Amino acid sequence: MTGVHHMLVHFPLALWALALVMILLRTLTTGELARLSERALVPVLALSLLGALAAVISGFLVWPWEAALSSPLTRNHILMALWSTSLWAVITALIWLIGSALWDGIGRWVMLVLGLIASCLFAITGTLGGHLAGVTSFFSIILDSLGWTVYETFYLPSMSLVLLFLIGGIMVVLGVTGRKT
Amino acid sequence: MNRQRTGLMMILFVGALALAWLTHGTGVVRNDLSRNIYIPDELTMPLQVQVAYNENLIFFHFRWPARNAYVYHDMLRYEDGTWVRHGASRAGPDPDNTYEDRVTMLVDDGRVPDFGRFGGYITIGANARFFTNQADKAEVAGHPHLGGTLGVNEVQKHLPATRSDMADWRTVVSEETLQQQRDAGYFLDLWHWRAGRSNPVGMSDDQWIGEHRHGDSGKAPFSTNWDSKLKQPKYMFDPARTGQYALRWEDVESNRFDFEDIYYLSEDFAVPFDPSHSWVNGDVIPRRLLRIGDGSRGDIRVYGKGRWEQGYWNVTLVRALVTGNPDDKAFNEQGLYNLGFAVHRDATGSRWHYVSLPCTLGLGRDADITAEPFTGESPPWTDTWKEIKLFYPGQVNWPYLTSRAHAGSVNIAEGVPVHSRHTEVQLALYGVEREFNSEIIRQWIWTLVSGIVLMMALGIGLSLRLGRYNGGVR
């Protein structure tokens, strides 16, 4: 299953990289290429999510579950894979639900920031996958210099967890309140 | 208004990610001596090694940094009529500075499968001494071989094939099989230099690992200076030769000593204990009586003097290339050997040491460490140190490493050496995390969930705001 996982991860990798370029074009330009990018984003992102789903499922089959849970590198790989997939899923849903209106005003900048963050998370996922395959990369040295050694599990203290849930709740409230029907 | 709320949501989201980045990895790892958990401040340290040999002898020269030298070990302090012991094995550093520094070296000649690939990890079985789940002492003492034959009550280093099930320390193979294993060379030689219990008399302890950690046959360089019936030392300092009856606690407690003065008790200047002497509070008598070891146990000597100066220990050990003793590994020209090193410092004992990955030693052939041949009496040391990175190994044992719970167990089964998959820093970090495995998994699951919830909440909030502002969600 290791080989299959290695093959499958290239689909979301390539498609999300393409999606980021399209978001950049749509955010920063207004020409034909921007309009083409906007129209193609939903199918590209939908295919990315399908590829990611296949990659995640095949990834869970590489090692026994107890081995994956016991390895700090694997724990980090799983966490970053699910976080990046979740954020790209949010981006996909927003573009699909709101449509062209999303790119007016502040929305386009929101998409750009989310796309960059999601790409960053997915780059970390790939770096960790490289470590697991025995191929380390320079990117992990950057992460180390920024305060995270990838051989240590990325986990949060309880107080931070509480704050994260609280912030999530506030964001929903901000969305719901003051909404005109 | 809508624009501001959207902006606020993005600020909160980025802020939450920043919070996660800044606080990750905290709140779990902490010392807990009740669970035998103590994490050293530094997880790695360097050790320098040189090896040379002449026609008959082999010399190992070690050098390593240590903030302080700890030479006091296992002391008896007089207090209101009783002798109180300080320096018994414990979790973490000894608070009274009464635990000695040590350097140890495991040696194999290729007859212990896997040692050359996985080093000392193969010697750590289930429920080992000072692990959080260490075996019950009474149960070990009641074991027919460990308690009955060997008289021990703790599970110490042992080799995998000395158990029919390495995951169960109780399953020691038969005495006949153990003897056959020893005859076949299935044991590790253990050179064991002790700053308190052997160095002052110019000796190193000499032990071996089979189904347990044994002393070689013969006389150790130290004995126990304690009369358990009378609850007093057996020997004290000879006042005629030393000018004193005892050491003073204030010197021991503050780790004050002079290598050229009296800081240990040796047969050369000990006399039977005199209970009628006017002992005063704070008098200290070492609970170990040093002597010149003999037999196989006395094979290894300190060459020159083992000394700590300017933040570094310098120790050279010397032994016959071939001792002729069945509990030693012989060194021969053209031989290739596997070594594993460890250092105890900062007044710690038992599993609170820094260990090395296995490395090779060659006599007359290339290896990680190539021994330098010479003629004459003194090794002509040149500046050819082998730098070895030692690391704190944490609570990682061989049953775990070879189980399904370790992703690399397949590699181990295939004989892939540990250093081809892991670095010393990586192993140290993994070792620490292993000591908090269940707590870290719990926090990791919550972290995973909280991140996903945060992103979903952002998606809901944004779809409501941006959809409203930009014409409504379709």
Q: What is the pLDDT of residues A8-41, one digit of tens each?
A: 999 999 999 999 999 999 999 989 999 999 999 9
| Residue B36 forms part of a structural domain | no
Three-class secondary structure of residue B326 per DSSP: coil
Beta bridge partners of B219: B294
In terms of Cβ atoms closer than 10 Å to its own Cβ (0-12, 13-18, 19+), residue B318 is: buried
Whether B126 and B182 map to the same domain: the answer is yes
| Residue B268 forms part of a structural domain | no
Q: What is the C-alpha separation between B457 and B472, in angstroms, rounded?
A: 18
Q: What is the pLDDT of residues B203-221, one digit of tens each?
A: 999 999 999 999 999 999 9
Whether B48 and B194 map to the same domain: the answer is yes
pLDDT more than 70, % of chain B: 98
CA B460 to mean position of chain CA atoms: 54
For B460, the closest of A86, A105, A172 (CB atoms) is A172
Q: What is the C-alpha separation between B266 and B131, in angstroms, rounded?
A: 34
Element (H, E) at B22: helix B2-23
Total of domains in chain B: 2
Query: What is the least distance, in Å, from the CA of B448 to any CA of chain A?
Result: 6
Tell me what pLDDT residue B199 has. Answer: 98
Q: What is the C-alpha separation between A82 and B321, in angstroms, rounded?
A: 58
Residues 16-35 of B with CB under 8 A from A: 16-17, 19-28
Determine contact: B386 vs chain A, CB below 8 A. Answer: no
Q: What is the pLDDT of residues A114-130, one digit of tens each?
A: 999 999 999 999 999 99
**With the CA atoms of B119, B122, B126 and B132 taken in that order, what torsion angle do they form, in degrees rounded to the nearest 10?**
10
Q: What is the C-alpha separation between B287 and B87, in angstroms, rounded?
A: 9
| Residue B95 forms part of a structural domain | no
Tell me what pLDDT residue A179 has. Answer: 60
User: B-chain residues within 8 Å CB-CB of A118?
Assistant: none
Whether B444 and B411 map to the same domain: the answer is no
Give first-to-last CA distance, chain B, whole Å.
22
**Degrees (nearest 5) of the Cα angle B319, B321, B326?**
90
| Residue B267 forms part of a structural domain | no
Determine contact: B280 vs chain A, CB below 8 A. Answer: no
Contact B421 A163 (CB under 8 A): no
Whether B424 and B466 map to the same domain: the answer is no
* Helix extents (H) in B107-174: 115-118, 137-141
What's the alpha-carbon Rg for chain A, to the nearest Å?
18
Mean local confidence (pLDDT), A31-60: 94
User: A-chain residues within 8 Å CB-CB of B447?
Assistant: 79, 154-156, 161
Whether B409 and B458 map to the same domain: the answer is no
Tell me what pLDDT residue B433 has. Answer: 97
Q: What is the C-alpha separation between B98 and A133, in angstroms, rounded?
A: 46
Strand B336-344 and strand B265-266: the pairing is unpaired
Whether B203 and B307 map to the same domain: the answer is yes
Q: In which domain, by residue range, is B197 found?
A: 41-66+101-221+292-435
**The two three-digit tokens of residue B437, written as one number:** 């495995």
User: A-chain residues within 8 Å CB-CB of B456?
Assistant: 86, 90, 168
Query: What is the least distance, in Å, from the CA of A80 to any CA of chain B?
Result: 8
Whether B105 and B182 map to the same domain: the answer is yes
Best residue in A155, A174, A177 to probe B by mutation, most B CBs within 10 Å? Answer: A155
**Degrees (nearest 5) of the Cα angle B236, B196, B239?**
25
| Residue B75 forms part of a structural domain | no
Contact A155 B453 (CB under 8 A): no
Query: What is the least distance, in Å, from the CA of B95 to any CA of chain A?
Result: 30
The amino acid sitting at B350 is: S
Query: What is the least distance, in Å, from the CA of B166 to any CA of chain A?
Result: 19
Element (H, E) at B431: helix B424-434
Contact B465 A179 (CB under 8 A): yes
Query: Consecutive sets of 10 residues in chain B, 474 residues long: mean pLDDT of each?
Result: 86 97 96 96 98 97 98 97 95 95 98 97 97 97 97 97 97 98 98 98 98 97 97 98 97 96 97 97 98 97 97 98 97 98 96 98 96 94 91 98 94 96 96 96 98 97 76 49
| Confidence band of A181 (pLDDT split at 50, 70, 90) | very low
| Residue B169 forms part of a structural domain | yes
Whether B452 and B303 map to the same domain: the answer is no
Residues 428-467 of B with CB under 8 A from A: 429-430, 433, 437, 440-441, 443-444, 446-448, 450-467
Backbone φ and ψ for B182, nearest 5 degrees, come out as: -60, -45
Nearest residue in chain B measured CA to CA from A74: B407
Strand B265-266 and strand B222-224: the pairing is unpaired
User: B-chain residues within 8 Å CB-CB of A155?
Assistant: 24-25, 28, 440, 443-444, 446-447
Tell me what pLDDT residue B95 has. Answer: 94
Whether B448 and B372 map to the same domain: the answer is no
User: A-chain residues within 8 Å CB-CB of B26?
Assistant: 157
For B7, the closest of A86, A106, A178 (CB atoms) is A106
| Residue B240 forms part of a structural domain | no
In terms of Cβ atoms closer than 10 Å to its own Cβ (0-12, 13-18, 19+), residue B406 is: buried
Query: What is the least distance, in Å, from the CA of B157 to any CA of chain A?
Result: 24
Q: How many CB atoms lie within 10 A of CB A79?
A: 23
Beta bridge partners of B306: none
Q: What is the C-alpha separation between B305 and B294, in angstroms, rounded?
A: 19
| Cβ atoms A147, B21 nearer than 8 A | yes
For A179, the closest of B447, B448, B468 (CB atoms) is B468
Phi-psi region of B19 (alpha: psi -120 to 50; beta: other; left: phi over 0): alpha
Tell me what pLDDT residue A178 has. Answer: 60
* Helix extents (H) in B227-277: 239-242, 249-253
Whether B420 and B461 map to the same domain: the answer is no
Beta bridge partners of B61: B50, B316
Contact A105 B453 (CB under 8 A): no
Q: Output the pTM of the full model.
A: 0.93
Whether B209 and B347 map to the same domain: the answer is yes
| Residue B92 forms part of a structural domain | no
**The two three-digit tokens of residue B230, written as one number:** 């009378």
| Cβ atoms B470, A98 nearer than 8 A | yes
Whether B8 and B146 map to the same domain: the answer is no
Query: What is the least distance, in Å, from the CA of B23 to any CA of chain A?
Result: 6
